[in-house]
Structure 1
Amino acid sequence: MNLGEKIQYFRKKMNLSQEQLAEQCNVTRQAVSKWELNESVPDVDKIIQLSRVFNVSTDDIILKEPLESNMNQEFYIKKAKINQLMIAATALNICGMIFGLFYREKTYETVFHLAVILQVLSILLFEFFLQRVRNENHDSTRKVFYSLNLLIFWVSPSFSLSSLAWSLTVILFEILAFESIMTVFNLSQLIIYGTLCLMSYTVLFLFMTKKKRHTFNTD
C-alpha cells in the first residue's frame, strides 16, 4: 500500500471527506486528492499534521509493515465481532422457535406471540449492532444471516408439520363434524403458518437458482 492509499484509508476510517481533511490540514481539496492519487507528496509538516488528524504515528503513514499489521488485526477483530453477533442473534431466534414449539399446549396464543417477539427481536438486534460495527461487507453478512435464520424462523418448524399430517386429517374431520377442538394449531394459525412456510421455500428456491446462474456465468 503506497502513501496515497494510506492517506485515503485513514481518511475513510475517520469518516472524513476530502474537504474536511483539507480544512484540518490547511490545504485545498485538490491537494488532498493529489496526495491520494500519488500525484504529489505532502510535506513533512503536513505528514505530522495528518498523523494528528488520524490519531496514528507518522510511521503508520510512511512505513508499510505497521499499517498492514494493524489492518489485518482490525479485520480479524471485526470478523470476530460479526460472528459473535450472528451467533447471539441466531441463538435468540432458536430460543423463540423452541419456546413456541415445546410449550404450544400452554395458553398457545400467548406463547406464540412471545416466541414471535423473541425472533423479531433477534433480527432487530442484529441490524442495530451490525450498523455499529464498521464493515464494508454488510450485504454479504446479511445474506448469510437471513439465509440461516430463514431456515430457523420458517422452514425448520415446518418439518414438524409433516409429522402431524395424520393428526391434521383427523382434526379436519372433527371440524367438518362441527367439533372445534384442535390440540396443536387452530385452523387460522395453521393457514398463516403454512403460507409462511410456502413463501420461505419459494424464496430459498429463487435464491439458490440465482446463485447457480451466477456461478455458471462466472465459470
Structure 2
Amino acid sequence: MLQQDILKLYRKKYNYTQTALADQLHVSPQAISKWETRDSLPSIDNLLALSDLYNISLDELVQAGPYFKKPFTVGHRVSWKRLVIFVLVWTLFSLFVTGFGYQPWWLFAVIMLWGLVVVLPIIFDSYWTIERTHISATILSDRFFEKFSQLLKHDMKEKVNYSDITLITIRYIAKVETSPWDFWRDELVLDLVTNANTTIRLPVSVPASTFLPQLIMFLQRQHIDVEDPQGIVDKLLLGENLHDKFHEK
C-alpha cells in the first residue's frame, strides 16, 4: 500500500467524490486526481486539512496508522520465566487434583507429564520481531513433541535481512466450523519468500490493525514486493472485522 492508495481509500471511506473533496479543500479536482496517481503530493496544509476533514491523525493519513517503534514483537516471547511459572502453576494444579499426596504418586506423575508434554506446547506459539534492518522469527512446530523439544533447546530464532526478502504475501485462512465445539481460530499470516527461494510463515497473533498497515508501508520502503490478494490491509483501514468478512454467507 502506497501513499496514493491511502488517500484514495480514505476518500472513498468517507464517501467523497474527487470533485466534492476538491470543493472541501478549495483545490481543483485535477489536484485530487494527481495525488491519487502520485503525479504530485499534497502540501502540508492540505494534509492537515484532510486530517481535520476525516478526523484522523497525520500518522494515519500518511503511513496508515500510528508509528510503531522498532523492535516490535508480534506474539509472546518464549522465556525461561514463563516456562518456570507454568511448571510451578501446573505442579500446584497436579497436587490439588491428586489431593496433595492422598492419591497414588504415579497419578501425580502422569498428570505432571501430561501437562509438560501436551499442555505446555499449547500455551506457547511462534513469534517474530520487526527490527530496523531485519526480521527475527521464532517458529515453533505444530507437533506437540517436536515443539516440546524446541522449547527445551530454546534455540529456534531465525534472522532474515530485508535485503534477502523478495516477496511477502498476506493471507487470511478461514477455518470451516464443523460443529459448535470447533474452537480452532482463523489464521492471518505473512508468507515471506527469501532470495534462497525458501518460505517462512509468520503468524499474526495480535490485533492486525495495530501494526500491519504500517508494517506493509515500511516493507515497501525497503523495496520489498508485497501482495495482498484478499485486500486485507484495505479491510483493516476501513475498520472491517476480518472474521465477519470472510465468514459471510
TM-score, normalising length: structure 2: 0.30
Q: Which has the higher contact order (CA 8 A, sep 6+)?
A: 2
Structure with the largest fraction of helix? 1
Larger Rg: 1
Q: Which has the higher strand share?
A: 2
